[in-house]
Amino acid sequence: GESVGLHLPTLSVQEGDNSIINCAYSNSASDYFIWYKQESGKGPQFIIDIRSNMDKRQGQRVTVLLNKTVKHLSLQIAATQPGDSAVYFCAENRAAGNKLTFGGGTRVLVKP
């Protein structure tokens, strides 16, 4: 079936290193992708988004890459900080309406 999933359930990163979180999707008709950060006890926080007519988008310390050929997107966090420790979700927003389909999440643990 159609799904959005993540390759790694947990990622341990040394403070100051770069983090890369990967996500696969299966619906080639998807046209909008979002990365969310969720800290314990809180709702998902919007980080960055990308539309299918782009292959790269940069924000503050974050970069999202989209590879439509292999239906893969990634989130890169530069100079990872302790405050980046959280669960990260990719979500797919399909053309028909604003229904978001989420993957299972990757937990990022930042080691001091």
Asked if 88 touches another protein (CB under 8 A), the answer is no
Asked if 98 touches another protein (CB under 8 A), the answer is yes
Asked if 69 touches another protein (CB under 8 A), the answer is no
Give the Cα separation of 30 and 100 in Å (integer): 11
Task: Write the Ramachandran bin of 16: left for phi over 0, alpha for psi from -120 to 50, otherwise beta.
Answer: left
Asked if 25 touches another protein (CB under 8 A), the answer is no
CB of 40 to another protein, least distance (A): 11
Give the Cα separation of 91 and 6 in Å (integer): 10
Asked if 43 touches another protein (CB under 8 A), the answer is yes
| Binding stretches for another protein (CB under 8 A) | 32, 34, 36, 41-46, 49, 89, 91, 93, 97-105
